[in-house]
Structure formats: C-alpha cells, structure tokens
C-alpha cells in the first residue's frame, strides 16, 4: 500500500542555538489537558445481556472516550484522528500511555492502556461458525516510532480473549522494533470452544513508557463476525481518512477584520482543501464513488456546495486524495465573527449503517480576534533550556493593535522555572527589528490551565505590515504545546541565537516541525480598558465553554458585558443581575464572543466564550 505521509520520523528534534550553546527540544506529551476525567466505570448493557454478532467499531466520532455501547468505560485509550498516520478510516483508538484523564500512569516502562469489549454472546456456536476477529494496527504516531522492546523495557500491543473459565488468554502480540509502521490488518480466529460462550470478551493491551506518549499504538476498524475466514478481508466500504486541511491558506484562524481588509479575501482561502479516502473492497472490480464538499457559516446559514467529484477506485486503493477549492464559494464579508465549517461527504450507496458515519469529515475555522497556525490540539511539546525567544511572523492586511499572546502550556515535572516573557517586534529584512516594542513577564501556576492562557501587554501594541511575537523562558520552563498536524510557512518561525539588542540581529529560522500553540490576540484598534494581571485573571473561570447559552462565572466581579468579534457590546448584564454567578445568554446567536468582567477595583478580566446552537 502507498501512503501519503513519510512513515519514519526522528522522534526527538533539535535545533541548535550556536551563540548560546543550548537547544530547544521536542518531546512526547507528559499529559494531555484536552482530555477530561471519564464518568465512573459502568456497563451500559442491561445486566444479563450481551452484544450479538456482528460487533464493529471504526472509532468514527468525536474525540474522547471509546463508545461504551461496544467497549467498557475507562482503560486509557483515546479516540482521535490526530495521532495516527494515514489511518484506514477517520478516527482510531490510540494507546497513548496516558490514563483516561490524560495523566501519566507513573514513571516505569510497564502496563499502560487497555481496551476491553462489552460481553458478547457466542453461546451455542461451534468452530464451524467460523467466527473471526479482524482489526488494523499501527506502531507509533505522527510524532515518531515507539522505543525498542526488550526484556527490561517491554513495549508491545497484545490481544487477549476471555475463556469460559474467566481466564484471559493472549492470542496475539506485536513487539516494538523501534519502527513507525503503516496500518496493517490482522485476522484472528475465535473458533476454540473455550471462547464460544455467552459472555465472551476480547481486550487489547499495551505496555510501554508510563510517563508520556512515547510508546503509542493505534487500532482501527475492529470487526467480529461469523462465517468468515483467514482471508476474509473485503468490506463494501469507502471511508474518509486523514484530517481535512485548513480552510485558510496560511493560517488556521485569523481576525475577521483582517480577513475583510484584504484586497482579495478569496485569495486568503486555501488553494485546495483535501482529505484522503480508502477502499476496503478487494475487487476484482473497481468501485465507483462520488463526493461533495459544502461550506457553512455556523450556526444557521445554509450550506453551499464548493466541490463535486467522482472516481472509480481500484480494489484496495489506499489514501486516494479528494481535493477541491473553497475559493469557488467565498465567505461572506461582514463585521461579525464567524465559525465556518467545511465538509467533504462521500456518496457511496452503502447500506451498512455501521460504516456510514466514516463517509463524512469536517473542520471548523474561526474568524474572530486572533491569528493561529495550530489546529487547537497538541501531539508533542517543545521546551527551551536557555533564555532564547521563539517567535512567529504574522502579516497584516491593515494596521492594528496586539493585545497579548494566547499560549498553550503543559506541566513538566522537571521544570525549574515558571517565569516567561512575551515580546513583540516590528519586521525588518525578514527578521525582528532591534529590541522588542513591548514585553510582559508572566509567572505560570504550578499546574497550568487545561487550555490556553492569555498573557497581555501593559497596553495594546500598535503594529502594521508584518510583526513578530513570541516568548522566552529562563531556565528549564514549563513546556509549550506543539501541534504536529499543522505547518508554519518557511522562515516564519524564528529563534534568537543570543542577546536581542538595538544593534544585534541574532535570529535564525527554526527547523521545528509542527506549530507551537501560541496565538496573538488583536483589538481592531479598539481602546482596551486596563486589564487585570494574568494571575488575577487566572482565578476567574467561565463554564461550560462552549455553552448553549447558560453560563456560570466563578469569581467575584461587579458587572459583565459580552462583546462580539469586533469589540461591540452584544449583551450587557442588567443592573438587577450585576455580579451574579449565572448569565443567561440564550438571546445571543451562536458564535465566538469575549466575556468582559469588571472587577470591584475597576480593572477588567476577559474570557473567550463560544456559544453553540
């Protein structure tokens, strides 16, 4: 099979700072803050009942816990489409070495994640029923290969069956050879009489580093049924696979007013947006498929079609590119912030309800008040061991002001310092010019928030043309999140190689792969009232977020105002409700907003808020 991504990557990436003598390193996640603690483990099946054949799951759905209709709750695996390389279908179950809450199990190399099926009724069947279990597996992830298996450091993925005496018996194991593999299919017979009982279960189990996601494995397209054989690997299914590319050409998000200010906003859209699809039919005939692409400004705008296509796929054809230009359906120009969903849907005439969900893939892009190169989810971390700036370049379509930097930090058990400094520069000759126009120090809490933290300059910083913004950390700092599934234009991420002064220009292009998760927040030149310091702002929380309209505020404040994407007041708290913990925002349309809280001392705390349908 051919795959569109390089399958072998160095796991640790280094870029040297020759004038400093230190390096910044990429490392696996030591925690995944995007995951929340699951509900208490329970069986969703009524007592005394079991699943009937066939049993199928291709993990197509929202990121998070596996489907508890098929699997026992908990176990530590993560359903996602960001860690696999060229998966068979959209979404896999990744054994990432972190527990169900996204926290490390410990520091040893030992047992990590499990994925256990609900009980399955195989009672009354015999070997002649030809029950087989099939699945696809992959060693490693987009970050790299797992470490080498050894007797003292066991790194493997195994499969076990529950026999009729209640004993789990290993029926398959794959030990790591320190190679990132393509997905490979495995078929295992379930014909032994010990397994043909009315409470049969199977479970996948991994072993590896318990402290991070280094030793990751993924499985996909799990299928258990009767009347099969060791060569029965053909299915009438065509599935979407790799994540849909960004709506925007350069960024993954940008301020709506900067989009509108372009002399040709349509040219800011991606030349082509694409995914890949896989044909599970082994033939011998080709399989016809048709697809369509749609674009919708959420929540209620009608979807418009930007793509129609058709092809005849060869038997078992893998990672066939489906591509179209969103420029055929440009976005409407308005001052209102937007959440835009673009989608590709396959029209395959399939009748199997279990596989229909993998025919659709979509992505949401925000045009609000910030720029981003990342997709919002981390797969690795980047850490600095010297006082050296990492900065991004951004190109403006009109003069603006930068309020601050939104940075996604992750905890590090080896951090010796939690102090960082953000800085902003004008551009000159493709590099930051002289000393920073403004800086702001920030002391991170011992446990960073589970998402981005806003670090604001003392006053908004005027910028025009192009500017650079980034951070530096002293000593061994908390790690910044790194998105491995996004890219930054060449020479748009730089690193300082020594002291940054008015006369020195010690900057060089970074060889870092992926996108550091830091986002400048702009104001559209709207005057911003003095804001509380970051430590004070961190004591306030707004939940749920996203919200359907009823929002809770944790923290003491005087008055609340909701601003739209261009800074206009969309909702002002009635005087009779001033300072209340509950906000009823049901009257506002779905979209991206800023909740502004006025404190008793007159300072303001702002929180980004998403309202859904």
* DSSP conformation letters of 122-185: -TT--GGG--EEEEEEEESBTTBPPPPP-SSS--EEEEEEE-TTS-EEEEEEEE--S-PPPPEE
For residue 612, the model assigns a pLDDT of: 85
pLDDT of residue 315 exceeding 60, the answer is yes
pLDDT of residue 5 exceeding 50, the answer is no
* Dihedrals phi, psi of 240, to nearest 5 degrees: -70, 155
Residues 210, 262 within the same domain: no
Range of the domain at 177: 31-233
To the nearest whole percent, how much of the chain has pLDDT over 70? 89
503 belongs to a structural domain: no
For residue 17, the model assigns a pLDDT of: 28
511 belongs to a structural domain: no
Pick the last residue of a domain from 233, 254, 279.
233
Which two three-digit tokens encode residue 130? 């030809």
Of 578 and 130, the structure prediction assigns the larger pLDDT to: 130
251 belongs to a structural domain: yes
The 10 Å Cβ neighbour count of residue 404 is 29
pLDDT of residue 160 exceeding 80, the answer is yes
Per-residue pLDDT tens digits for 218-257? 999 999 999 999 988 888 999 999 999 999 999 999 999 9
For residue 450, the model assigns a pLDDT of: 67
The CATH number that applies at residue 220 is 2.60.120.260
Residues 194, 243 within the same domain: no
Rounded-to-integer distance, Cα 441 and Cα 443, Å: 7
Residues 294, 218 within the same domain: no
For residue 181, the model assigns a pLDDT of: 97
Say what the pTM is: 0.85
Q: What is the mean pLDDT of residues 545-558?
A: 90
Residues 41, 118 within the same domain: yes
For residue 472, the model assigns a pLDDT of: 86
Q: Are 68 and 53 in contact (CB under 8 A)?
A: no
For residue 19, the model assigns a pLDDT of: 28
Pick the last residue of a domain from 325, 350, 368.
368
Pick the last residue of a domain from 315, 347, 368.
368
Burial class (CB in 10 A: 0-12, 13-18, 19+), 393: buried
610 belongs to a structural domain: yes
For residue 498, the model assigns a pLDDT of: 65
For residue 321, the model assigns a pLDDT of: 97
360 — pLDDT class (breaks 50, 70, 90): very high
Q: Where are the beta strands (DSSP E) in 273-432?
A: 273-279, 287-297, 304-313, 320-324, 338-347, 360-368, 380-384, 390-395, 400-410, 419-428, 431-432
Of 564 and 303, the structure prediction assigns the larger pLDDT to: 303
Residues 210, 88 within the same domain: yes
* Dihedrals phi, psi of 553, to nearest 5 degrees: -115, 125
Q: What is the mean pLDDT of residues 65-83?
A: 94
Q: Are 439 and 483 in contact (CB under 8 A)?
A: no
Mean of the per-residue pLDDT values of the chain: 88
Residues 181, 286 within the same domain: no
Residues 223, 364 within the same domain: no
* Domain count for the chain: 3
416 — pLDDT class (breaks 50, 70, 90): low
pLDDT of residue 607 exceeding 50, the answer is yes
Residues 220, 188 within the same domain: yes
Residues 252, 227 within the same domain: no
37 belongs to a structural domain: yes
pLDDT of residue 385 exceeding 70, the answer is no
pLDDT of residue 40 exceeding 70, the answer is no
pLDDT of residue 262 exceeding 70, the answer is yes
Per-residue pLDDT tens digits for 469-526? 999 876 666 788 999 999 999 999 998 876 676 666 788 888 888 999 999 999 998 7
């Amino acid at each position: 099979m051919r795959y569109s991504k390089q399958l072998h990557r160095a796991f640790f990436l280094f870029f040297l700072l020759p004038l400093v003598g230190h390096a910044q390193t990429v490392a696996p996640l030591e925690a995944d803050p995007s995951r929340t603690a699951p509900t208490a483990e329970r069986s969703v099946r009524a007592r005394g009942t079991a699943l009937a054949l066939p049993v199928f799951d291709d993990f197509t759905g929202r990121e998070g816990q596996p489907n508890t209709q098929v699997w026992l709750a908990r176990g530590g695996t993560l359903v996602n489409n960001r860690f696999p390389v060229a998966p068979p279908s959209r979404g896999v179950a990744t054994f990432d070495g972190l527990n169900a809450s996204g926290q490390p199990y410990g520091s040893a190399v030992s047992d990590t994640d499990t994925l256990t099926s609900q009980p399955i009724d195989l009672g009354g069947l015999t070997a002649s029923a030809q029950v087989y279990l099939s699945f696809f597996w992959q060693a490693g992830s987009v970050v790299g290969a797992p470490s080498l298996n050894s007797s003292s450091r066991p790194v493997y993925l195994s499969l076990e069956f529950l026999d009729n005496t209640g004993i789990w018996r290993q029926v398959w194991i794959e030990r790591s050879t320190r190679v990132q593999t393509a997905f490979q299919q495995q078929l295992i017979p379930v014909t032994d009489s010990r397994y043909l009982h009315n409470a049969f279960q199977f479970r996948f189990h991994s072993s590896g580093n318990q402290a991070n996601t280094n030793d990751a494995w993924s499985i996909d397209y799990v299928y258990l049924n009767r009347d099969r054989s060791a060569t029965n690997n053909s299915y009438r299914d065509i599935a979407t696979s790799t994540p849909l590319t960004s709506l925007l050409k350069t960024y993954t998000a940008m301020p709506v007013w900067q989009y509108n200010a372009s002399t040709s906003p349509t040219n800011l859209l991606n030349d082509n947006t694409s995914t890949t699809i896989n044909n599970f039919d082994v033939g011998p005939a080709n399989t016809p498929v048709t697809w369509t692409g749609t674009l919708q400004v959420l929540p209620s705008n009608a979807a418009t079609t930007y793509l129609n296509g058709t092809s005849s796929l060869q038997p078992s054809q893998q990672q066939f590119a489906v591509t179209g230009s969103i420029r055929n359906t440009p976005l409407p120009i308005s001052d209102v912030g937007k959440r835009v969903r673009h989608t590709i849907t396959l029209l395959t005439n399939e009748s199997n309800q279990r596989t229909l969900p993998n025919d659709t893939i979509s992505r949401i892009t925000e045009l609000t008040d910030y720029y981003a190169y990342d997709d919002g989810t981390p797969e690795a971390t980047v850490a600095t061991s010297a006082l050296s700036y990492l900065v991004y370049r951004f190109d403006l379509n009109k003069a603006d002001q930068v309020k601050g930097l939104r940075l996604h930090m992750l905890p590090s058990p080896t951090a010796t310092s939690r102090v960082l400094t953000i800085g902003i520069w004008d551009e000159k000759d493709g590099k930051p010019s002289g000393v920073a126009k403004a800086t702001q120090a920030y002391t991170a809490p011992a446990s960073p928030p589970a998402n981005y933290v806003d670090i604001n300059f003392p006053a908004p910083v005027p910028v025009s043309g192009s500017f650079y913004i980034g951070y530096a950390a002293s000593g061994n700092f908390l790690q910044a999140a790194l998105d491995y599934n996004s890219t930054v234009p060449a020479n748009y991420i730089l690193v300082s190689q020594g002291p940054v002064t008015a006369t020195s220009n010690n900057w060089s292009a970074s060889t870092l792969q992926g996108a550091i998760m830091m986002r400048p927040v702009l104001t559209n030149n709207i005057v911003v009232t003095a804001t509380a310091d970051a430590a004070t702002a961190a004591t306030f929380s707004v939940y749920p977020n996203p919200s359907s309209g009823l929002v809770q505020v944790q923290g003491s404040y005087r008055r609340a105002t909701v601003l739209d994407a261009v800074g206009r007041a969309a909702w002002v708290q009635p005087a009779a409700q001033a300072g209340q913990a509950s906000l009823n925002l049901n009257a506002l349309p779905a979209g991206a907003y800023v909740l502004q809280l006025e404190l008793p001392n007159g300072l303001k705390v702002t929180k980004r808020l998403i309202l859904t349908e």
